[in-house]
Structure 1
């Protein structure tokens, strides 16, 4: 597994709870402890809400509070994505503004044990290209609301798949879309930044047992 893919996989592990000991993560991914430490440093530097406690392991942190504002998840998502997009703008003035805004937000954050002091809004490798998936978000959201099927093709090869979009999620630096994959006849989680082609189909779908969001949640709870 390449390091970039391992970092995304670590995010998925952290999303599902914790804490996770570095030794267990190293064994799971077949790498050294030093590699796990470096990976966690990279995640934290890129703004992924992760913290480590000696003797307990790594876990995901709670949401961010900016005084005097309390941000919900959607608002934090907007800040992350907007700053990431502007940091890659062609105009130097926009890039500079994104950097200074990220710095101002960072200054306003409360001091918390274990919180890294750099890079709230601007991603470092390997998440610097993740914002490109943002262009797909409006259509995916609209398809979820309208219960329209999507045809999706991801990078890295493979053919197009027809899916029923059920939920959008954002954690740290990546957007994912939970869907029922009609091609594979199973639930799938799609990294939005990996979508090469996306088409909204005229076909609508209705709730069917085994293919609903609550069915996926029940599977996870079991």
Structure 2
């Protein structure tokens, strides 16, 4: 998370007028308590009306209004549709973020007259895709931290294999999520359907960018094969 995003998130957290401990905010944002202390110092120095001190807690004295969004109704509908899909067809972490974002959008949009009341979309769950949602938070964290994962994977032929992989990217294909990786076991790039992952474990081992094993290398390889008319299995 970028520092500017984290500062905005901290403001959102303390908007409720309650006292918040730095350690609770640090745990929620997955940073150190010292980082949160520095962030509060920055916010106070910039004029944000925050009361508190280290070891006691922090609270907002008065509401803070973030810059308004200038979106058309069509843009709002597109954004709302995306949030509705995430709210029904994603893991708990993303569902929580989607609900929070939707409330912010609706609050601002209806306040400035950009959207009428009772607008938006309803989306029904994707049953097959939800099978893999339990693994999504761990995969996203591993991609951010460049941590190797141990997978037990069930193929389309219903065979189980174990792999050590370097997770590079998650892709969504309408009803199915896949994970593109460098597979140590096979010594090549592989894409795995996340709903076919039986077990996904952290290894505690990390990887660094290596020529020929990066996401850019994978994308270049796919482009080259498409140009040559090679169908990937």
Return the TM-score normalized by structure 2.
0.47
* Greater Cα radius of gyration, structure 1 or 2: 2
Return the TM-score normalized by structure 1.
0.49
Q: Which has the higher contact order (CA 8 A, sep 6+)?
A: 1
